[in-house]
Structure 1
Amino acid sequence: MELTLNEKKLLVVLGSVGSADAAALAEKMDARPEAVVQYANLAGERGLVDVAKHVSRRYTPTEEGRAYMGKGLPERQLLESFEETIPMQDLQSHPLAKIAVGWMRKKGWIAIRDGIVQKTGNAAFGPDEAAFARLGESDAVEDGEGVPDLARRGLVQEEENVAYTVSITPRGRELLAEGLDLQEEVGTLTREQILSGAWKDLPLRRYDVTKLPKRAYPGKVHPYQRLIDEMRRILLDMGFTEMAGGIVQSSFWNFDALFQPQDHPAREMQDTFFLGERWPLPAGYERVRDMHEHGGETSSTGWGGAWSAAKAEQCVLRTHTTSLSIQHLAQHPKPPVKAFCIGRVYRREAIDPTHLAEFEQLEGIVMDEGVNFRHLLGFLKEFYGKMGFEKVRFRPGYFPYTEPSVEPEVYVDGLGWVELGGAGIFRQEVTAPFGIEHPVLAWGLGISRVAMLRLGLRDLRQLYRSDVEWIRETPTYGGRR
């Protein structure tokens, strides 16, 4: 059996002690503990030693935890700072009040009535206080009752210790009894040894070329960000310019400018995050108002009814990046315009494997003389083709601010046809108030759905989790299927 010199040395040491932890073996062998574990794993593959891994955790105080050492948890300190009752206003002057009042109420130590804080008489020491007391005695505690509570509060931090025990097996003792050659091996040849031929008589270290090297995990861009960067690069290569804007938008730009009626379901609380801020309406908003009420100077009849400026002023977290598209067009009403945006949008959704309350959307617009519906389909087919989807088809759709409208679909092996967004030509009711006289091709794409297809995911939430192992295992690719 061919062994490395380090494996032989390890067997010799184990022959006298039988079993020992890697740190003790490293001291005897004048090596690093990590290196000894490596030697042991090699010998373990040959059945010469057994390697046992032991993981232990202990908890040490954080900077905040140290501030309370010897004094007790903040709620205990605050509780002991007054008698049976105290006005809340006076209690709030205590430096720990912001932290401790909530904990005292949560633990049932106090009751607050008419602005007066009163002790309930039920303030026994809990598991968290007992664990904190142990921490003060030794500056570290093992995992146990009360410790997770301290960790959640940021008062202690976890330290993981990994140790290895290496034991010689009967097979290893048999090999040791047969005798081992401990002659030093040569791992690197010099120029002189090669030229003189001396290498032929040297005890060369053997290498197993079939063994895989230790895996290296270099820094790399998150798989989802790589996909977003790929889309951005494709659109820039297609001649588009990138536009951007804030995540907070007025309802005017998010809804009204896109000819969504003010009583549309998408504007209700179940779909939109409304904010307390209000923004003034832009100059010329009256043209949008007139379009809603009676169709303005177009052949449209509008939505009828009275349009509310107060509703239009209310701010929201943008529900789509189309709000940026119409603002860009309002600033650039003359052709040519060819722009896109990749940004996060927010909707009040029930979170599950295929829905999130916030996600990324890709928005694109093209405005020029003579562009038509066929140009729109061509842009979309070209973009999806560059994303690696060879089969693309379109089916009729409906969207409040485009006519005609389509829903692009791509074919995915194992899934069939999958819808990947919406597209159309902006209605006259959208473009006329801003003096836009030429057709505007527009589309929106849910990037996260593309990411799920490209990365083979079944749960959309995986894209946003801090899962280092998944990031490591996801291959870096050039962006083509």
Structure 2
Amino acid sequence: MLQNIIDELHIYEKKVLKGLESLDYESTPEKIAETQDMNIKSVMSAAGSLESKGLIEVQKDVDEIISLSDTGKEYAEEGLPERKILRVLNEEGSIPMKDIGSKADLDSSEVKVAIGWLRKKKWALIDKGTVKITEEGKEAVSKEYTDEMLLDKLLDANKMLLFNPTQLIKEGFDLLRKRKGIIHVKKEPKYNLKVTEKGKELLDMGIEIREEATQLTHEQLKTGSWKNLKFRGYDVHAEYPDFFPGKMHPLQRTIEDIRQIFLKMGFTESKGSILESAFWNFDCLFQPQDHAAREMQDTFYIKEPRTVNLPSNELVENVRRAHENGGATGSEGWGYSWDVDVAKQSVLRTHTTCLSTRYLAEHEPPIKMFSVGRVFRRETITYKHLPEFHQVEGIVAAEDLTFKNLLGYLKEFYRKLGFKARFRPAYFPYTYLSVESEIYLPDKKTWIELGGSGMFRPEVLEPLGVETPVAAFGIGIERLAMLRLGIKDIRMLYKSDIGWLRDLPVILD
């Protein structure tokens, strides 16, 4: 086992171990670098690797080195600003505040700082705009304060190691550190390397230091010199650093997976604007103009543009008749007077079904169409609701299409996503028959509702001139993403949580 470790050691690791052996198994990186003719970076790199293998211990201490800045040197030579003022005060007893700068040869910024320190050190007091020397100030004229003593020492020594300082140095250091730009404090790490028992056992077995090859060159192969090379061993079980490759955001990944499923099922993708007229968003879907979903509490109405142009007069007239009396469908409609101005209102689309009605108005069956896009509703932000989210919508139109075909499409879609699906009866203003899709969660042993679907009502199709059956479905993508990712708060999908995003697996296409 130990021989395997020896074989896998890099030449720098062997040199560090041999250097420590010659220095009684314990020394500094600097001494090892000197004895083994290595640079300090190579020594430290090898030391880290040896420590991970349990062959040496790396002990670290940090020294604080203090030195004077250029300003500090000036103060050490000429005196601190408050000391300059004290000298003048000692001669004159008091000085008007406005004259301090000129008398002590200080600029306005230094005067402000100096007055503060004069008061802290109790060398002077201010009385009615005049600075007067105190008894403590008179005593301080002939002796140095602790910060001044430290300035003198630093001026003589250039720099000083702050390790177990005397009380005098500590007090002076604490005072100078409160003032900006006088001293520099630099932290310098110190390392000590010590061979472990395991490392000593390894050294006792004998370590041979010779150059090792890590790769073959064309020249070595050509000349045959590779036969005399010693190749370095590699530890295939060694730890490797974490790396975080770029990857698609999990919500976008879910959207792309959904898109690919429908494309492979033969659907055509349609896209449209998030700004829509109430006509396409509500009226074409046989949703009455006094329906609760149209209220400001549920829908975002746009101020500019406030209204949107409507399509052909014929289509608008067909929709009006469907609402008022059912038109040619045999339905009674909603029995109210339909208002074209309400239909012109500009809204942020509340669902992508408006794309489905537009597509039906512009294309002849047979049709298999889906769309993926953002929709907007006036929702309070909670762990399960957002005012902006994504929805996938789709329609299938064909002569022999039945309700059973719709359920088959949905089951296949959920199966491709990895879910088992079932359906229960539901109500929507624009479909009949209508169902809610539910998928099964094995870990929770429960079913969860995920989307609505159904067959478009005649009141939707007849104004559009569509005579074939049309199956429609709509699914919230964020809820699907939450289930796939195992998260309970929808807001997580929009947070910049780099830790969570990094931990998500990379999915390869």
Q: TM-score when scaled to structure 1?
A: 0.66
The residue type paired with residue 401 of structure 1 is Y
Q: Deviations over 1:330-363 (max 9, x none)?
A: 112x311110001111112222222222111111
Report the counterpart of residue 165 of structure 2 in structure 1. none
Q: Does 1:356 pair with 2:386?
A: yes
Q: Secondary structure at the match of 2:327?
A: coil
2:410 is the counterpart of 1:380: yes
Q: Aligned partner of 2:341: which letter?
A: A
Question: Structure 1 residues 331 and 202 mapped into 2: Cα distance closer, same or farther (>3 Å)?
Answer: closer
Are 2:490 and 1:460 equivalent residues in the alignment?
A: yes
The 4+ residue runs of structure 1 with deviation greater than 6 A are 11-17, 51-54, 176-180, 191-201
Superposition map of 1:185-264 within 5 A: 185-189=212-216, 203-264=230-291
Q: Which stretches in structure 1 are left out of the alignment for 5+ residues?
A: 55-162
Distance 1:317 1:167 in 2: 64
Cα 1:190–1:433 shift into 2, 3 Å: closer
Question: Corresponding residue for 2:345?
Answer: 314
Partner SS state of residue 275, structure 1 = coil
Aligned partner of 1:400 in structure 2 is 429
After superposition, the Cα gap between the structure-2 partners of 1:353 and 1:39, relative to the gap in structure 1 and judged at 3 Å, is farther
Structure richer in helix, relative to its length: 2
Determine which of 470, 474, 477 is the counterpart of 2:500. 470
Q: Which residue of 2 aligns with 1:265?
A: 292
1:425 lines up with 2:455 in the alignment: yes
Change (3 A) 1:19 1:461: farther
Q: Relative to structure 1, is the Cα distance of residues 366 and 174 closer, same or farther in structure 2, using a 3 angstrom cutoff?
A: closer
1:412-451 to 2 correspondences below 5 Å: 412-415=441-444, 416-451=446-481
How far did residue 204 of structure 1 move?
3.8
Superposition CA RMSD, Å: 3.5
Give yes or no for contact 2:60–2:192 (8 Å, CA) kept in 1.
no
Distance 1:300 1:436, change over 3 A: same
C-alpha distance in structure 1 between counterparts of 2:352 and 2:61, whole Å: 52
Contact 1:40 1:166 in 2 (8 A): no
Map of 2:12 onto structure 1: 6
Taking a change above 3 Å as real, the CA distance of residues 41 and 351 of structure 1, as seen in their structure-2 partners, is farther
Q: Aligned to 1:281, which of 271, 286, 310?
A: 310
Q: Structure 1 residues 452, 164: closer, same or farther in 2, change over 3 A?
A: farther
**SS at 1:292 equivalent:** helix
Residue 200 (structure 1) shift: 8.2
> Which among 314, 330, 334 is matched to residue 361 of structure 2?
330
Conserved? CA contact 1:49–1:167, under 8 Å:
no
Q: Contact 1:423–1:442 at 8 Å: present in 2 too?
A: yes
Structure 2 counterparts to residues 35-54 of structure 1, below 5 A? 39-47=46-54, 48-50=56-58
- Percent identity between matched residues is 49
Indicate the SS of the match to 2:329. coil
| Residue aligned with 2:501, SS | helix
Aligned residues: 362
Unaligned runs of 5+ in 2: 63-186
| Cα distance change, pair 41–421 in 1 and its aligned pair in 2 (3 A) | farther
Which whole-Å deviations, capped at 9, do the CAs of 1:219-256 have from their partners, x for residues lacking one? 33223322222221221111111100001111111111
Partner of 2:28: 18
2:237 is matched by which residue type in structure 1? T
- Going from structure 1 to structure 2, the CA distance change for 1:190 and 1:268 (only over 3 Å counts) comes to same
Contact 2:29–2:43 (Cα < 8 Å) also in 1: no
Structure 2 letter corresponding to 1:237: K
Cα pair distance change 1:381/1:37, threshold 3 Å: farther
Matches of 1:164 and 1:253, distance apart in 2: 71
Contact 1:6–1:39, Cα closer than 8 Å, also in 2: yes
Return the offset for 1:203: 4.9
SS at the partner of 2:328? coil
- What TM-score do you get using the length of structure 2 for normalisation? 0.63
CA gap of 1:10–1:300, structure 2 versus 1, over 3 A, is farther
User: Which whole-Å CA distance do the structure 1 matches of 2:188 and 2:280 have between them?
Assistant: 63
In 2, the alpha carbon distance for the partners of 1:318 and 1:431 equals: 20
